[in-house]
Amino acid sequence: MVTIILEFLDIIGSLAFALSGAIAGYKKRMDGFGITFLASVTTFGGGLTRDILLNSKPVAIFETPRYMIIAVLAGLIVRYWPKHHNDRPSLLIALFDASGLAVFTAFGTMRALELGAPFHGSIIMGMITGCVGGIIRDVLLNEPPLIFYGDFYARASLLGSLLLYILHLYGIPDIVAILSCVGLVFMIRFYVIMKNPVYQERAKHRLKFLRIKKIKVKK
């Protein structure tokens, strides 16, 4: 049962990150390949960086074709979906991103612990796993990465990693520790997304940019 829950969370987190990357690419008017590529790097970026730094073999994304399949499916869904809600594009991306951040932070921290990483190493690896994919996505889109934008992004990941580590240290079952980490990170990000004025300004800026671009195209 625990294995099934963990597999389900892994799929949900991967799909959420893939969709955030694919939607971001779609909003930038990328073609099908560009959308799928962006979905892929958003999904793979954090885990690949973590495994390289930890010298973990085999690399997680090469153990199963699941991640590639999820990225391709996300790209196809976004590319051929009949209608997108262009009024709040940043909100949709951010909610998917929050889900991916929460799950990947937990899995990254747990993988580091399994490989014998110390306290600081586990916390950092959790943050890297959760954040790097989104950083790569934003850099490729020439957008200011959320982690550097005062948006309580990396700090949410760090708090989640810290909670998981403490629960693991005190012998709490791994599934409880992982779910607690996922819940904490997602709730923090959800609150920030809905209330933080920094995010709201960014969303307005992006929406204004898209509308201006649409008017120019029509002309």
Cα–Cα distance measured from residue 145 to residue 19, given in angstroms and rounded to the nearest whole number: 17
pLDDT tens by residue, 139-162: 999 888 877 766 688 899 999 999
Greatest Cα pair distance, the chain, in angstroms, is 64
- Percent of the chain surpassing pLDDT 90: 35
pLDDT tens by residue, 56-100: 888 878 888 888 999 999 999 888 875 554 545 567 777 888 888
Report pTM: 0.80
pLDDT tens by residue, 100-149: 899 999 999 999 998 888 999 999 999 999 999 989 998 999 888 877 76
What is the dihedral sign for C-alpha 70, 144, 139, 152?
negative
C-alpha pair distances (Å), 3 with each of 101, 190, 201: 20, 27, 41
Cα–Cα distance measured from residue 163 to residue 4, given in angstroms and rounded to the nearest whole number: 23
Q: Sorting pLDDT into bands at 50, 70 and 90, what band is 176?
A: very high
Number of compact structural domains in the chain: 1
Whether the per-residue pLDDT at 168 is higher than 90: the answer is yes
Q: Sorting pLDDT into bands at 50, 70 and 90, what band is 39?
A: very high
- Percent of the chain surpassing pLDDT 70: 83
Cα–Cα distance measured from residue 52 to residue 3, given in angstroms and rounded to the nearest whole number: 25
Q: Sorting pLDDT into bands at 50, 70 and 90, what band is 32?
A: confident
pLDDT tens by residue, 183-200: 999 999 888 888 765 555
Query: Given this model, what pLDDT does residue 196 score?
Result: 63
Cα–Cα distance measured from residue 187 to residue 80, given in angstroms and rounded to the nearest whole number: 31
Domain holding 169, by residue range, is 2-218
- What contacts 42, CB < 8 A, 6 or more positions away? 17, 18, 20, 21, 24, 100, 133, 134, 136, 137
- Between 8-17, 30-39, 51-60, 89-98, the lowest mean confidence (pLDDT) is in 89-98
Where b means 16+ CB within 10 Å and e means fewer, 50-65 reads bbeebebeeebbeeee
Query: Given this model, what pLDDT does residue 92 score?
Result: 73
What is the dihedral sign for C-alpha 159, 161, 166, 170?
positive
